[in-house]
Structure 1
């Protein structure tokens, strides 16, 4: 996992044309965890660049239930529907990963390849607790 300081350094090094950044892409973190990470990155960016207008996006597609792993974990569920807020300083929630996309040959899809759509994973993700 990249630290907020390292992530901010990467974003800042891209230059002034960068409008924002995304956290939790292909991840399973819940909204409070994603918000904390995005806010920490934004704080580091403010210190490094003086800008506080970066758009913060979190991938919420697979964050609907606590999991005990990050590679096709059992119990993963679809997350919060997409939310676009008018305030740039608020976390925007988008589905950046298609539910059912495998993380690789592990967890609930040991015979899959990373990036492969696995119908059984999609079905499991779609179940609501």
Structure 2
């Protein structure tokens, strides 16, 4: 193998291995049992708690099975387009009974006749 191909192969293998380890650790992360919402001077705060009632510290690692669904969530608000002004009129469609175009004229292939005795 050429050196560039070998380096590319090693890079691909390392990428796949590191991604697999990250996903495996995310699947086996300790799950929080519940959430407590408290009102503070700065607004609402959500605290996750474990089975003993202790707060769970650290950033949560999102399960890779849920990431495609979370990718569609954004902070932007989608508003409906404004209604058109005036009244709407229906569009007249063409009839379904349109005659088919006539078939093209048959093409004659010029073939060779039978051999003529000389």
Instruction: Give the shorter-chain TM-score range.
Output: under 0.3
**Structure whose CA Rg is larger:** 2
Question: Which of 1 and 2 has higher RCO (CA within 8 Å, sep 6+)?
Answer: 1
TM-score, normalised to structure 2's length? 0.20
